[in-house]
């Protein structure tokens, strides 16, 4: 997967995870792990961007985990 495709996927997950069901969010966490791993192997001209995207993906995962803990890990959607 190219750095650009990984960037777009991270952006999609950032925009949609809060409204996703708990199972989907868990899938997103797994996917972000795979993306981060792939980004860690990037060298050359894209290495700096890949490093930044890895940190961005990690922030998204942390935010997802914080929200799930705040919800009691029940995966409930926020009240509207």
pLDDT digits (tens, 9 = 90+) for 11-70: 999 999 999 988 899 999 999 999 999 999 999 999 999 999 999 999 999 999 998 888
Residue 75 lies in a domain: no
Residue 78 within a domain: no
Q: Is residue 77 part of a domain?
A: no
Q: Structurally, how many domains does the chain consist of? A: 1
Contact 25, 65 (CB under 8 A): no
pTM score above 0.85: no
Tell me whether residue 76 is in a domain: no
Instruction: For residue 31, count CB atoms less than 10 angstroms from its CB and return exposed for 0-12, middle for 13-18, buried for 19 or more.
Output: middle
The token duo for 34 is 């795979």
Residue 80 counted as domain residue? no
Q: Name the residue range of residue 59's domain.
A: 3-70
């Amino acid at each position: 997967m190219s750095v650009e495709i990984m960037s777009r996927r991270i952006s999609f997950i950032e925009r949609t995870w809060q409204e996703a069901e708990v199972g989907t969010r868990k899938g997103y966490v797994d996917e972000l792990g795979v993306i981060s791993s792939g980004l860690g192997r990037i060298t050359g001209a894209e290495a700096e961007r890949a490093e930044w995207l890895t940190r961005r993906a990690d922030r998204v995962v942390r935010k997802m985990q914080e929200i799930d803990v705040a919800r009691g890990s029940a995966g409930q959607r926020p009240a509207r």
